């Protein structure tokens, strides 16, 4: 099949702040090599790690010049002549690895670099599935054996991972305490919207980060004794969270929004018996059997179909990438910002 149209992609030739480092590039749509498939992207989200890659502060990055983005949903438009694959034209795929560059209208790459997705799932939900919901899924399953009714606490609960964790915990029978930042007083209206949204997702408790040491919150932790804490903030807020954690808890870090290191008093480890791990979806994908990943994706796709898992999405035409980046990096947002092609 011949492909008409023009290749458009968001590229960077040097690391720096995304708005100045990135630029739109037009070109000719590539012809797939013999073992390659050519895909056309439908939707590609802007994740914090994508931003960090452009900034040059991420440990796994493509070599420069590079197309931005690591996640997205694409459609196969052409299959290479000698390509040993069951992919065919019209199939929907997501990248198997990071660093393929998804902020592009088209990509020709080895067939093995893609995972086939069923065609009956909302494209925006499929496009935002493989990073944030999968991160939430793994952190809830891989670090301690939660029992029905067990509590999980998380900071950064409004993040896309946080919202997915609320929904997944509910599906699997666990309850959540959700720590959020309080907005300045002049934005208090947003607070009400945020609370309503998290509650609709299934949040059992919502706590402002500056209220962690207050008697009500301490009583809540004492009563619910959360066994697992998900951390994307670090710094003092995490130190405070550790103070109210019960004995033997597990703390899994997947982000460091505060840009401050984690400070642990020795006693939190020895006497409180807290356990600290980190989670990185990229490493999990790079080191785990595809069949296990497929099982997780199938589970999550079923939850999307049944409406039990949904990412709140705001779309931007690729041409409006500057606005998309600006909104994706703004504080207090509830939406995942997605480029569409």
Site residues for its own copies per CB under 8 A: 59, 234, 253-256, 261-280, 283
Q: Which is nearer to its own copies, 60 or 183 (CB)?
A: 60
CB of 100 to its own copies, least distance (A): 20
Q: Which is nearer to its own copies, 80 or 255 (CB)?
A: 255
Question: 151 to each of 113, 167, 194, how far by Cα in Å?
Answer: 37, 13, 21
How far apart, in whole angstroms, are the C-alpha atoms of residue 134 and residue 137? 5
CB-CB contact of 98 with 282 (8 Å): yes
Q: Catalytic positions, please?
A: 58
CB of 183 to its own copies, least distance (A): 24
CB of 75 to its own copies, least distance (A): 32
Structure tokens at 237: 């807020």
CB of 264 to its own copies, least distance (A): 4
- Which of 123, 111, 112 is CA-nearest to residue 45? 123
CB of 76 to its own copies, least distance (A): 33
Question: 258 to each of 85, 233, 255, 333, how far by Cα in Å?
Answer: 44, 5, 9, 16
Specify the DSSP class assigned to residue 32.
P
- Which of 163, 160, 118, 124 is CA-nearest to residue 298? 118
Q: What length does the chain have?
A: 341
Within 10 angstroms of residue 17's Cβ, the number of other Cβ atoms is 12
Query: DSSP letters of 144-200?
Result: S-PPTT-EEEESSTTSHHHHHHHHHHHHHT-EEEEEEPPPPGGGHHHHHHHHHHHHH
């Amino acid at each position: 099949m011949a492909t008409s149209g023009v290749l458009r992609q968001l590229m960077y030739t040097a690391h720096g702040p995304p708005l100045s480092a990135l630029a739109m590039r037009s070109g000719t749509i590539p012809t797939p090599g013999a073992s390659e498939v050519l895909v056309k992207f439908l939707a590609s989200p802007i994740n914090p790690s994508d931003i960090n890659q452009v900034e040059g502060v991420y440990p796994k990055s493509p070599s420069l010049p590079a197309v931005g983005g690591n996640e997205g949903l694409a459609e196969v438009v052409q299959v290479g002549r000698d390509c040993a694959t069951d992919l065919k034209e019209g199939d929907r795929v997501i990248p198997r690895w990071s660093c393929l560059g998804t902020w592009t209208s088209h990509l020709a790459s080895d067939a093995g670099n893609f995972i086939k997705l069923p065609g009956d799932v909302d494209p925006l939900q499929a496009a935002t599935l493989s990073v944030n919901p999968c991160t939430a899924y793994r952190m809830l399953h891989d670090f301690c054996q939660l029992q029905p009714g067990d509590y999980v606490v998380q900071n950064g609960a409004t993040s896309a991972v946080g919202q997915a964790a609320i929904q997944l915990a509910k599906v699997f029978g666990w309850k959540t305490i959700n720590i959020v930042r309080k907005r300045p007083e002049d934005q208090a209206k947003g607070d009400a919207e945020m609370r309503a949204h998290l509650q609709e997702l299934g949040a059992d408790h919502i706590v402002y980060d500056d209220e962690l040491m207050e008697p009500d919150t301490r009583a809540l932790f004492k009563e619910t004794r959360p066994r697992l804490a998900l951390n994307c903030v670090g710094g003092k807020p995490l130190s405070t969270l550790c103070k109210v954690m019960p004995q033997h808890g597990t703390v899994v870090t997947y982000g460091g929004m505060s840009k401050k290191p984690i400070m642990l008093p020795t006693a939190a480890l020895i006497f409180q018996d807290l356990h600290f791990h980190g989670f990185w979806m990229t490493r999990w994908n790079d080191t785990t059997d595809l069949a296990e990943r497929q099982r997780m994706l199938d589970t999550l796709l079923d939850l999307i179909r049944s409406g039990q898992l949904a990412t709140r999405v705001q779309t931007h035409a690729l041409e409006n990438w500057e606005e998309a980046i600006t909104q994706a990096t703004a504080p207090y947002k509830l939406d995942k910002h997605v480029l569409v092609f």
